[in-house]
Amino acid sequence: MTAKPTFYITTPIYYVNDIPHIGHAYTTLACDVLARFKRLDGFDVMFLTGTDEHGQKVEKSAAAKGKDPLKFCDEVSERFRELAKFMNISNDDFVRTTEQRHKLACQDLWRKLEASGNIYLDKYAGWYSVRDEAYYAETELTEGEGGEKLAPTGAPVEWVEEESYFFKLSAWEDALLKWYENMPETVLPKSRKNEVKSFVEGGLRDLSVSRTSFSWGVPVPDNEKHIMYVWIDALTNYMTGVGYPDVGNEKFKKFWPADINMVGKDIVRFHAVYWPAFLMAAGIEPPKRVFAHGWWTNEGQKISKSLGNVIDPFEIVEEFGLDQVRYFLMREVPFGNDGDFSQMAMINRINSDLANDLGNLAQRSLSMIFKNCDGKIPDVNGFTSEDEKILAAADNLLPQVRELMERQSINKAIEVIWKVVGDCNVYFAGQQPWTLKKTNPERMGTVLYVTAEVVRQIGILIRFIMPDSGHKLLDQINIDPDKRGFEHLGSTGRLVSGISLDKPVGVFPRYIKAEDK
């Protein structure tokens, strides 16, 4: 048997200074959808997420709550794990940067950087933002209303002066520019690639990579006065997850380098400049792709704790349903662009795309089979050109969806699936099986067969977006659990006439506001 192709995808690891919100849920969900797609498409998948637990920001948050940092991290990290479970996320591992395996990975990477002459000891004097955990040049700063200095992100900065190790980032300018050029799709979307490219072209300064003024971090090997800069620590998690520093282990050999490091646009510089530079300097292959998606706002406003408009993913899932939220977040916005979360938009998607379009198509056709065909998938004696056209549309979906998913165009992939759902509704309405019931029951059977067959294929196809609902649709037509993979799409997996159905129950209920119920 030939080995399956592999696919390694990662989310950013989230800071535990705050509880999870919709932005975190979004990134993790997008990775889940990509990972599930690949698994269904026959790949051996490794999907990693986790929490970023070191650094000043986390240390300060723990202190503000009067908690021991590790205890504080345990609690918040657990919340991120719960969210993953709650949202049916299929991650294969969950890395915490306070784990011993991660400390070993960081220290090994550090040693490699030191041994290759890429790290030196000096003194740092400059601006630092704890909120962003980032260093800024004087020229990048702006002035706040009270005359205070602010980072380009609006975060406050403080002056830091301390002995520090530096990474020779300046030496990696050419290598990075070549990497962007030779691997044109290594940073996506293109606009993000242009952004990092011009940042590098503007000249890179060496990067301070250790701190001595606090202790919540991974100690620098052989100089424990220093802890590693939280970003060198955090980025290394992508290697920890596949067993680094043991590069001879099966996982590392199989999955490195990652196919996609998925991030939000806020942290593209860390991932598409610092990270590949660290790796190249250590003689390790950089990721195949860094994809930076867009930013969600809430009813048009920036999401922020101080504005009090943070969207709790647990709450919206309770309110609207898990698969409904998964569908909305993936369908609403072209992946890569910014998006706005609005209750109206969510309700529209639930009631129109899910309840009306797909839900009704399944419910109407399967109910007719249940009532009028003895509860069995009807026999077919030949197809008309209209039947063949809609069957072909369903049969041809996978290659189109696959091509779009290769570029992480998740919303477009959903659109092409829903185009067939729409076309099938038009087919169903046009064929009028309810009229055929009296005039030509055999033809009615064929129309119902064709519609149920399209529903079967859609049920399999939507499993990467809405795993539970996909299964529920397939349960309605009693599809064998081991016949639900992508290899059963198309004409080879056609519905078998004579299969008995149970009484169909709706899979996608309409959303009705509590006060209107």
The residues binding ligand ME8 (CB under 6 A) are 12-15, 23-24, 26-27, 52, 234-235, 237, 263-264, 266-267, 295-296, 303
Judged by CB, which is closer to ligand ME8: 97, or 118?
97
Give the tokens for residue 43: 């790949």
Q: Is 222 left (phi over 0), alpha (psi -120 to 50) or beta?
A: left
| DSSP code, position 274 | I
Q: At what angle do helices 441-461 and 467-476 cross, to 10 degrees?
A: 160
Task: Give Dmax over CA atoms of the chain in angstroms.
Answer: 89
What does the alpha-carbon distance between residue 76 and residue 81 come to, in Å, rounded to a whole number? 9
For the bound state, the minimum distance from the C-beta of residue 464 to ligand ME8, rounded and expressed in Å, comes to 20
CB of 461 to ligand ME8, least distance (A): 26
Instruction: Answer for the pair 446, 386: CB distance below 8 angstroms, yes or no.
Output: no
Cis peptide before 221 (omega within 30 of 0): no
- Kind and range of the H or E element at 458? helix 441-461
* Entry field: residues in the chain: 517
Residue 417's contacts (CB-CB under 8 Å, 6 or more residues apart) are 397, 401, 458, 461, 462
Least Å from the CB of residue 26 to ligand ME8: 5
Shorter beta-carbon distance to ligand ME8: residue 292 or 369:
292
Minimum CB distance to ligand ME8, residue 445 (Å): 49
Q: Which is nearer to ligand ME8, 230 or 368 (CB)?
A: 230
Cβ 3 to ligand ME8, closest distance in Å? Answer: 29
Q: CB-based contacts of 449: which residues, under 8 Å, 6+ apart?
A: 377, 378, 379, 380, 495, 497
Q: What is the DSSP letter of 498?
A: T
Nearer to ligand ME8, 303 or 393 (CB): 303
**Cβ nearer to ligand ME8, comparing 272 with 369:** 272
Q: Which is nearer to ligand ME8, 231 or 427 (CB)?
A: 231
Give me the amino acid identity at 429: A
The smaller minimum CB distance to ligand ME8, of residues 26 and 124, is found at 26
C-alpha 429/C-alpha 491 separation (Å) is 23
Structure tokens at 322: 């898990």
Closer CB to ligand ME8, 64 or 512, in the complex: 64
Least CB distance from residue 437 to ligand ME8, whole Å?
50
| Least gap, CB of 228 to ligand ME8 (angstroms) | 13
Report H helices in 149-188.
173-182
Report which residue's Cβ sits closest to ligand ME8. Answer: 23
Q: Give the shortest CB-107-to-ligand ME8 separation in angstroms.
A: 17
